[in-house]
Chain A
Amino acid sequence: MRKVFEIFLNKFITFICKVCKKNGTSLPGSIIYNYLDKNILDKINYPKYVIAVTGSSGKGSTSNYIYHILTNNGYTVAYNSYGSNGINGAVTLILNNSNLKGNFKKDVLLLECDERHLKLIFKNKKPTHMVITNITRDQPVRNVSPYNILGEIKKAIGEDTHLIINGDDAIVSELKINYKNITTFGLSKTKDSYTKNNQLSLDQTYCPICHQKLEFSYYHYGHLGNYKCPNNDFKRDPIDYEATDISLNKKTMQVKNSIINLNNNALYTCYNELAAYTLTNLIGLKDEEIIPYFNEKALPPKRGKKLMLKDREIIMLESKNENNISYYQSMKYIKDQKGIKTVILGFENVSRRYKENDLSWLYDTDFELLKDKNIDKIFCIGRFKYDVATRLEYAGVDMHKIVMATDLHNLLNLVEKKSKGTIYTMVCFDMTEVIKKLIKGENR
């Protein structure tokens, strides 16, 4: 009876939120979970496929592809596409997709999950499949270290959970030590792979078993690459789903016998698409049911949205603060583009989740990538613009290229007057919205 009431209440509050035009994607679940019943999810009969997608970056895009492929193949899928990826969002979604008896109504439950909330969402009932995109240093204020994140993820893994993991990631791959039901995906060496890591702060440098220094024959980025312990205790084993012939210029990669198009010319796109391919193939879809949804019927690229400022193109890249891989991806993307460039960089707050402003991650992030002769100017914005500029000075960026935008309302004017070339914004979420509004106003 209690269950019936809770499911009903969830649907009812969702309805009210819709009527009031409020975002009701986590409030209903938050009321049920926090005030009524911490065990509500144990009472739901889950479908055959319960897929969790987690990791420090790429979980949104990966789950988006999975949704795209599954729904186009006739599966009904409940998915938190709107990004409420904690326990409250999960409860809201799950109860809204269950009937009052607690039977889940769709074929698949697909959850993009916050790494720390996984253990709450899957406290007793475990996912059938878990995709782990990567684990890197991310929001150290909450997560302390990547090993803590790995520990949190482990709590949600059940005996029967099939793990689909990034085999290039030396931290995620520690799961191979204790778990057997694992499929790996990874990228073969590419044109951009490098052999000497210039980042001083790698997350995984020692073998987790014998503590000898890992030898990397190449890196893709960060601690992702081909690693091997000198005692052979731990290594990148042959990858189950390996993408080869990766060409970011042509935006293609080969997986098994098919050519897959990349919807962005960036390495992280390879991982996201490959993870989605691996998962959907594992649950039984064939190439002809998967490949078209990367190629002729592909999703539009999520990152790198293009806008115009008068006659200049603006490419909007988002960079997650406290996540060096996210910043690396944005800067690598900018570096790889041709022509004269202008960059906008900065943030108002370090985090959306907490008030603390720890800035240490700036020095784990490879801002040296902005030392590019094709960059005309770099505009620093937000409350921490001088900290960002300091970091750029330490990166060896020519300080004459740096413009401090003290008045945000004057930013676009400043950009127009003082800089040349394609404009790349690589700001954090809070500033993306602000800049979009400014551009809208400018073009009116």
Chain B
Amino acid sequence: MKTFRIAHLYYDLLNMYGENGNIRALVKRLEEQKVKVTVDFLSLDNDIDFNNYDLFYFGSGTKENINLAIKHLSKYKEDLIKAIDANKYFIITGTGLEVIAGLNILDFKMKDIDFQIIGEQVYTTNLINEKVIGFQNRNTVIIECNETPLFSVITGTGYEPKNYLEGIKKNNFYGTYLLGPLLIRNPYFLQYIVKDILGKDYKILKEDISFKAYHEFIKNFVDEKEKV
């Protein structure tokens, strides 16, 4: 495979919860597969050429920073839609999803609420057999969603309270309210994405210590709860 090019958008604005971990995870796993990876850190000062990248990432930010990102990205709306249609990868985490809502490029709406949804999450997805774990901290909800959900909620909150669907998947666009380094915390999900990127070039490698961390968490916090 030729070089895999990642654009970490608004790395200095949308970075509230160690989101750089997701980029580190992608780079590590792809490099282990002997793929050359480049990461460009782009923000308000930069022009974005969507043809130049294979994967785009951004994470969580404050309301003010989300609005700055929406303003900056709004001139690229057509490029964004084209890139999603062209099967480019997008990984959007936490309140970064509010930027997507603000741009109106996918078929869902978002609404502010006057309380904070905070908590640990346990999901399933039909992409992998293992559960997906993570954390949410937000004060918006998704309504009128006509896109394909990414996850089903076992514990936690979906699009809105009492809704059990979470995240959005369209082609290779993956968006979720899960915040922070979820690709590190969910090594199987990361493995799925890397496999999907590499296709037949994917090689099975030895599991690193992040798998152990994942299983420990499942043992201590998910299975324990299910027993009760």
Binding site for B on A (CB under 8 A): 137, 140-141, 144-145, 147, 200-202, 205-206, 211, 213, 356-365, 383-384, 386-387, 389-390, 393-394, 399
Contacts and interface: CB of A to CB of B under 8 A. Distances in A.
Interface string B1-44: 00000000001110111111100110010000000000001011
B17 A361 contact: yes
A358 B13 contact: no
A344 B9 CA distance: 36
B210 A206 contact: no
B185 A359 contact: yes
A137 B180 CA distance: 14
B24 A356 contact: no
Given A360-B18, A363-B20, 16 more contacts: A140-B16, A140-B17, A144-B62, A147-B64, A200-B20, A211-B68, A358-B180, A359-B185, A360-B17, A363-B24, A363-B180, A364-B18, A384-B216, A386-B212, A393-B209, A393-B210
A201 B135 contact: no
Interface in B59-98: 62, 64-65, 68
A140 B180 CA distance: 11
A356 B120 contact: yes
Contacts of A201: 15-16, 18-20
B191 to A, nearest CB: 15
A137 B118 CA distance: 16
6 contacts: A201-B18, A206-B13, A358-B180, A359-B185, A393-B210, A394-B184
B175 interface: no
4 closest A-B pairs by CB: A360-B180, A363-B18, A386-B213, A363-B21
Dominant SS among interface residues on chain B = mixed
A122 to B, nearest CB: 23
Contacts of A144: 16, 62, 116, 137
B55 interface: no
Given A141-B137, A213-B44, A358-B180, A386 B209 contact: yes
Contact of A390 (B45, B65, B120, B184): B184
A137 B137 CA distance: 14
B171 to A, nearest CB: 27
Contacts of A389: 209, 212-213
Contacts, number: 110
B68 to A, nearest CB: 6
Given A140-B17, A141-B137, A394-B184, A383 B220 contact: yes
B47 interface: no
A206 B44 CA distance: 10
Nearest to A389: B209
B62 to A, nearest CB: 5
Contacts of A364: 15, 17-18, 20
Nearest to B25: A394
B116 to A, nearest CB: 7
The CB with the most chain B CB atoms within 10 A, among A145, A363, A387, is that of A363
A205 B12 contact: yes
The CB with the most chain B CB atoms within 10 A, among A141, A145, A205, is that of A145
A362 B64 CA distance: 24
Contact of B44 (A200, A211, A386, A390): A211
B179 interface: yes
B181 interface: yes
B11 A200 contact: yes
Contacts of B44: 206, 211, 213
B223 interface: no
Given A137-B16, A358-B180, A386 B120 contact: no
Contacts of B220: 383
Given A144-B116, A201-B15, A360 B181 contact: yes
A201 B208 CA distance: 25
Contact of A356 (B16, B135, B209, B216): B135
Contact of A360 (B21, B116, B213): B21
